[in-house]
Amino acid sequence: MNGFRKTTSMLLGAALCGLAAWAVQPEPALAETETGDRPEIIVPRAGGQAAFVKFGCITCHLGDGRGGQNEGGYGADLRVTKLTETELVQTIANGRAGKGMPAFKGLIDDETLGVLAKYIKEDLRLR
């Protein structure tokens, strides 16, 4: 019986930890765009890395920004980009159709676009 109690206690503890972790996960707020055609995803208080993962940048640019040939196609190496933060915001918003970069305008709010650009320039940059 002692083993049963110990196992039950451990399982209950693990379940409670899992429930607590799930309960504190922030939910992104959704808002309609000006045209009302696509939902705008807002990532409140999230860092650039969280947005980089959430919006699938890692599919082409990989987690460290090095890009190259991968499952998403060929992604540019963001660690050495010469684009300014403003140019990055424009590129993320409008895409580069000829190079396979999709446009995220209407999917990512302006504040998060800025957070992504700053993350690319400051945190992914090779030092």
pLDDT digits (tens, 9 = 90+) for 58-111: 999 989 999 888 776 788 999 999 999 999 999 999 999 888 899 999 999 999
Question: What is the DSSP track for 2-57?
Answer: HHHHHHHHHHHHHHHHHHHHHHTPPPPEEEE-SSSSSEEEE-TT--HHHHHHHTTH
Instruction: Write down the pTM of the prediction.
Output: 0.61
Write the pLDDT tens digit of every residue in 19-31: 555 555 555 555 5
Q: Which two tokens stand for residue 51?
A: 């947005």
- The H or E element containing residue 69 is strand 68-70
Q: Can you list the domains of the chain with their CATH numbers?
A: 27-122 (1.10.760.10)
